[in-house]
Amino acid sequence: MYKFIRRLLFLFPAEFSHHLGLKGLQVIYKLGLSSLLAAKSQDAPLQLLGLNFKNPVGLAAGLDKNADYLDALGSLGFGFIEVGTVTPKPQAGNPKPRLFRLAADHALINRMGFNNKGVEHLVSRLKKRRYQGIVGVNIGKNLSTPVSDAHKDYLLCLQRVYPYADYIVVNLSSPNTPGLRKLQFGEELDKLLSMLRQEQLDLQEKHQRHVPLLLKIAPDLKEQECQDIALALLTHNFDGVIATNTTIARDGLQDKAHVGQSGGLSGAPLLAQSSKIVHLLQRYLQGAIPIIAVGGIDSAETAKQKFRAGAKLVQVYTGFIYEGPALIENILAAQE
């Protein structure tokens, strides 16, 4: 059934298809027909981050930026769902077109620019959610906020979503917000992680619950940079790391129509570099904190590659667009 739906959606421009697909899924969910699409094998429970996951296959941030479709997506069999990236204030994101489908490469290029309805809207949706699975919230900064003041946006988002999230992800790795990625390095990273960790401790005391705090990093890192990030995560007692976001590289693409588009590349071409970062993190973290892998997962075998590299959980996004809920089922079946 999904192959027919995909064929229909791929007739339209990528961003229009994105919204059309989500709205269609919402209708199917409200009609009680989600079982027609949902993965059949859904249970492979594990405990990580102090949380109980139904299975190790999650949906990465970006598909449902505002938690508007959380219940419908949750009905498809994911072990966890990450919403966002959310910013303090609503913002429109970059001018359209800003999402491009590279079908020959099983890939996407996006330069969305953290388009979202703002943290207050997301919180209102989380308060109403029926989905009982694990929900992560991915937080970022507004475009209008100078990089020097980025910590203010991250702290505000952390404070607002803390009571409603199962875990929170600090996104410093999107290539579509100018200057954002430089926060991954040196003193700026150290300062930001220190402030966020202290705020996490304060919020834990206030709300009497520990909400794990994770960092999402880029794939376009040198080994020394990866080692430095691992050390910073350990120094500041972060709970975990997500590797990786999209890449600015364009190596080996077959689709020449969109290869020149700026933005982050996701999907199959990202697999090798993303897995390399997971492997490096595993080397330098030595299992001290868990790694969640995302990037290029479109089959059971590519998911296995992430687990072999050291990941404890995996997330899908572009592979899910191309393969549908059967991807969840195939990954879980291969774990049995």
Which DSSP state fits 258?
S
Q: Which of 307, 164, 280 is nearest to 220 (CA)?
A: 280
- b/e sequence 2-14, b meaning 16+ C-beta within 10 Å: beeeeeebeeeeb
Residue 144 CB neighbour total at 10 angstroms? 11
Which residue's entry shows tokens 């204030």? 89
Residues in the chain: 336
Residue 145 near residue 153, CB atoms below 8 Å = yes
DSSP of 125-171, one letter per residue?
HHHH----SEEEEEE---TTS-GGGHHHHHHHHHHHHTTT-SEEEEE
What count of other Cβ atoms lies within 10 Å of the Cβ of residue 286?
11
Residue 122 burial by CB count (10 A; 0-12/13-18/19+): exposed, middle or buried? Answer: buried
Which 8-state DSSP code applies to residue 270? Answer: G
Task: Report helix, strand or coil for 283.
Answer: helix
Measured CA to CA, the distance from residue 322 to residue 324 in angstroms comes to 6
Identify the CA nearest to 2 among candidates 31, 40, 32: 40
User: Which of 82, 86, 85 has the alpha carbon at shortest distance from 133?
Assistant: 82
Residue 75 among the catalytic residues: no
Catalytic residue, chosen from 174, 266, 275, 299, is: 174
Catalytic residues: 174
